Chains A and B, each alone.
Chain A
Amino acid sequence: MSDDTFMGVPREKIPWYPTIDYSKCDFCMECDKFCPHRVYERREGEVKLVVAHPEHCVVFCRACAKTCGPDALSFPSKPETIELIKRLRAEAEGHDA
């Protein structure tokens, strides 16, 4: 299915998803309220929010980070991600050839 690949690369091979810095996160849940793709999930206990579905995250989207007051969300480097995608595409083409 289309949702399983991005730019011809299996989605699970692209490490694009938010990372929560728990030393900054105040569990205001703005990111979870914002994200329509259900990347986050709330939990009982001390850690009240986790990145439960990284594979739902839209590659190159960082919109949730803009809702984060304490700036607790980070994403991988975009240029490095593009390089990785290029490499994986080249490898896939090599296999097809």
Chain B
Amino acid sequence: MMPERYAVLPCNGLDKAVGPLAREIAQVVVEACRGELVCPVLYNNIPALYAKALELPLIVIDGCGTRCASKLAAEHTLKVARKLQVAEALKETGESAGEGLTPDAPRLALCRLLAERLLSAPEEAVALDTDAGFAEPAEYATVTHDKFIFRIPLQGYLFDENHCWARVAGNRVRVGISDYMQQELGDLTFCEPPQMGAEVGQFDAVGSVESVKAVADIISPVSGRVVAVNPAVAESPEIINEDPYGRGWVAELELRDLEGDRALLLDGDGYLALVRQKAADYRP
């Protein structure tokens, strides 16, 4: 069976070792699926040139953790069907990007393998069919400091000391960042959700958020497997500022060991006490 056709938007990082690998993978993918290559530099300048190509489902290939290609896609509100970050994929395979900017034969072979995997991995559906069990919190406690008011839901949420929350419903859990963290970061400009299907350990990062001030990892309070990501916050990260405990959820996980995880977490009252301490010397 011929693979589905894709538009491929790769990293253009020609000055780092992973950049040429991203480019190589992109070329292999385009050839394999008879797809369309989207030059990130030209697309950034004249997006209209790729309007036709981008009618195809999109694969984004980032080289390193700066994720320029993903950010470019997000800036243009492109929907991403599949994605790969080469530096992370290399770590998983135990390989290094190598020296120099010209990939050697083993790395070219690895690029072909990663391209194949990228095309053949099942595209998991984003499960957004139900918000059941994840209703907005009924009431909040508040901590006030100067003109700042930090809200903390006392019921139904677990927190870690990295200011991230988990809300459990059955064997599923939604995670996001707290009101305190979103105010500390300020207006969010970017939210990178985790990979669908990723196995997450307790206190592993489940994506990151970026504001004009800083970038922060979202540290998952619980372990599990990512079964849904919130496309709304990837497109409009300001939703997290507006409603951090509700519509601003970032990822949904299937729980692995809630009882084990719980021993290291705070309930609403515990987190309220932590925010009280933090707020005392809060400087935005």
Contact = CB atoms under 8 A, between A and B. Distances in A.
Q: Decide whether A and B assemble into one complex.
A: yes
Interface of A: 1-3, 6-7, 34, 36, 58-63, 65-69, 71, 78-79, 82, 85-86
18 contacts: A34-B214, A34-B215, A59-B161, A59-B162, A60-B205, A60-B217, A61-B162, A61-B217, A62-B205, A62-B217, A63-B217, A65-B65, A66-B65, A66-B66, A66-B215, A67-B65, A71-B87, A79-B201
B255 to A, nearest CB: 17
B64 interface: yes
Contact of A69 (B64, B263, B274): B64
Contacts of B219: 60-61
A61 to B, nearest CB: 5
Given A60-B162, A60-B217, 18 more contacts: A1-B277, A2-B278, A34-B214, A34-B215, A36-B214, A59-B161, A59-B162, A60-B203, A61-B216, A61-B219, A65-B65, A66-B64, A66-B65, A66-B208, A67-B65, A67-B66, A71-B97, A82-B202
B217 A7 contact: no
A63 B215 contact: yes
Interface of B: 16, 64-66, 87, 96-97, 161-162, 201-205, 208, 213-217, 219, 263-264, 274, 277-278, 281
Contacts of B161: 6-7, 59
B165 to A, nearest CB: 15
B277 A7 contact: no
Q: Which 3 A-B pairs have the closest CB atoms?
A: A66-B65, A2-B277, A36-B214
Contacts of B64: 66, 69
A7 B204 contact: no
A36 B278 CA distance: 16
B84 to A, nearest CB: 15
Contact of B16 (A3, A59, A60, A69): A69
Contact of B216 (A7, A63, A67, A85): A63
The residue among A3, A6, A69, A78 with the most chain B CB atoms within 10 A of its own CB is: A69
A58 B264 contact: no
Contacts of A63: 205, 208, 215-217
A85 B264 contact: yes
Nearest to B163: A58
A31 B215 CA distance: 11
B265 to A, nearest CB: 9
Contacts of B274: 2
Nearest to B162: A60
Contact of B162 (A36, A58, A79): A58
Nearest to B19: A69
B213 A36 contact: yes
A68 B17 CA distance: 12
Contacts of B96: 71
Contact of A78 (B201, B208, B216, B263): B201
Contacts of B215: 34, 63, 66
A58 to B, nearest CB: 7
B235 to A, nearest CB: 22
A78 B66 contact: no
